[in-house]
Amino acid sequence: MPDSLTDLITDLAVANRILGHEGVLDAFGHVSVRHPDDPGRYLLSRSRAPALVEPDDILEYTLDSEPVKPPITRPYSERVIHGCIYQARSDVIAVCHHHAAAVLPFCIAGKPIKPVFHLGAVIGDETPMWDQHDEFGDTNLLVVKPEEGRSLARALGQHSVVLMLRHGATVVGHSLKDLVLRSIFICQNAEYQLRAHMLGSASPLYPGEIRQADVLHQQRAGVDRAWEYYCVRLRNSGGWPPKATAKAARAKPKAAPATRSPAKKKRKR
């Protein structure tokens, strides 16, 4: 966990940019993280392409997905995805919604993604499928109503990812770094699974292999090693975000100057 809210805001901007650079996110999609000091709030960028997100773009929301402060910029319309999942899952610290090219064939075909290599174990043993049309009929496929967000959260259940039919996927993590790596590895797994099917078949991991490989993924040393790798890739690409301004860093307001006690009136002699 970062040492301060300022550090976490910077990491959130970096997470957006890493997932943009690695092809998980494009002009659309979004990443959030639960507030470190208040589990009843979360942090999410203003409506902007993830690869361009800066610390100054980060806004704070309640779990009802209402901005804590009136925003002067446009927020994401699908922010209820994040708020509803945080409400339903106290163990979730970060959320990513994306439309990655590697995952979309499975969402279009209605086929599950199964872990087929060791890092793919972060998927778990099942990827539930959510069809918005089942409950809400014809929509523009955006998840913008609280009841739609709650329906998606129910479909996610206790899993790590939920596939959204004809739309994309939503991934959750136990930390922001865990979420970033999980989102990348799920896309890699989807690519390998599809290629293996082109060769004839894809052999998924055994349940025991999934559990043991996921334990390895959760270890701090491995998470930090992979996070460093993707951070360096982002830096080398020239895509590292600028530093936050004092305002975006949520600097504590300066204490008001101490007021002097009113001077006593001199007595007339």
Q: 216: how many CB neighbours lie within 10 A of its CB?
A: 12
Mapped onto helix, strand or coil, the DSSP state of residue 12 is: helix
Identity of residue 204 = P
Q: Where are the alpha helices (DSSP H) in 65-206?
A: 80-88, 104-109, 132-136, 146-156, 176-199
Please report the sign of the dihedral spanned by the C-alpha atoms of residue 148, residue 190, residue 43, residue 90.
positive
Identity of residue 12 = L
Tokens of 45: 């960028």
Under 8 Å between Cβ of 5 and 58: no
- 78 in active site: yes
Under 8 Å between Cβ of 192 and 205: no
Helix and strand counts by DSSP (H, E) for the chain: 8, 7
Contacts of 201 (CB under 8 A, 6+ apart): none
Catalytic residue among 66, 78, 135, 191: 78
**Farthest-apart Cα atoms in the chain, separation:** 109
Contacts of 126 (CB under 8 A, 6+ apart): 112, 159
CA 25 to CA 22: how far, in whole Å? 8
Q: 206: how many CB neighbours lie within 10 A of its CB?
A: 11
Tallying the residues shown for the chain, one arrives at 269
Under 8 Å between Cβ of 187 and 103: yes
The set of catalytic residues is 78
